[in-house]
Structure 1
């Protein structure tokens, strides 16, 4: 795939790694606006490292990325991102460490016959309703944020905005949409969430 240049970042994409698209660009733009120099930043599901690379190119920040896909980790590492392998928070020990955690989760409603082969399925498969990974993420994320820290979560209208906000509230977070755009048959949104300690 051809390398992508965006907001001072230059990112190469490997085979079997999610290629940055409208969702990636929207999350990267919001992240650059919301992140300040010196913050501790984690990108969950780092993929190619595109969003983290854009942050690093525009802020004095060294994001950490994690992913379950070994091909994605190799790609993100080649793009200059410090990475480790983890299924969500399973491999993370830095409790109460991060100012911001970014997540562009697998959000597409996916039945058994819609799954794709290999590691790339993890980038798309949000379960039958599209919210399985989001629910697991929010059940655990508060323990890894600094007091006053926040989550920047990407979702689509296909995921069910009201249902996602129900998950956010159930896990004692407050959230609001900070950016949105329309892409073909869906609305793309970034939600900023803070924990109600």
Structure 2
């Protein structure tokens, strides 16, 4: 089971005030996230929602944004809560394609967005999917049968 789908960290000062917020549609995933944080001495606030719905107060305030979406390509879109944890729809990008247009609004001026993706999600297209952000491959590795990527996005320098 994934422990979270969407997590933000709002860093307010170099002194270390950090607010960690995780969202997920699945209440079990949120419970696991809280427990993982507790075991690691980190307080994580959780919100049950789809992606960032209801979190407009975070616009332009997120310094680090992490997204570990359901990325496995499936013939159909997920039909139940269990499938929503891993099934990404026909190209594995159902949730990703819904969320990418919203990323730029959430990020602070120097904010960074990290996305977990599978090779079959079309990495070159994902890197260019946010017109006002620059995408790059931060990490690539094979994990069993999966060829995984961590993609990093930053604001374009003007």
Q: Shorter-chain TM-score category?
A: 0.7 to 0.9
Runs of at least 4 residues of structure 1 off by over 6 A? none
TM (normalized to structure 2)? 0.77
Tell me which residue corresponds to 2:13: none
Gaps of 5+ in 1: 1-16, 20-42, 47-51, 53-58
Task: Tell me the C-alpha RMSD between the 2 structures.
Answer: 2.5
How many correspondences in the alignment?
A: 143
Relative to total residues, which structure has the larger helix share, 1 or 2?
A: 1
Tell me which residue corresponds to 1:103: 67
Deviation at 1:146, TM superposition (A): 0.6
For the pair 1:90 / 2:47, whether they are aligned, the reply is: no
Q: Deviations over 1:89-136 (max 9, x none)?
A: 112121111101001111111113x85x74232221211111121121
Please list, as runs of the form range in 1=range in 2, the aligned pairs for 1:6-155 lying within 5 A after superposition. Answer: 17-18=1-2, 44-45=5-6, 61-79=18-36, 80=38, 81-92=44-55, 93-112=57-76, 115=78, 118-155=80-117
Gaps of 5+ in 2: 10-15, 39-43
TM (normalized to structure 1)? 0.63
- Quickly say closer, same or farther: Cα 1:109–1:95, change in 2 above 3 A: same
Relative to total residues, which structure has the larger strand share, 1 or 2?
A: 2
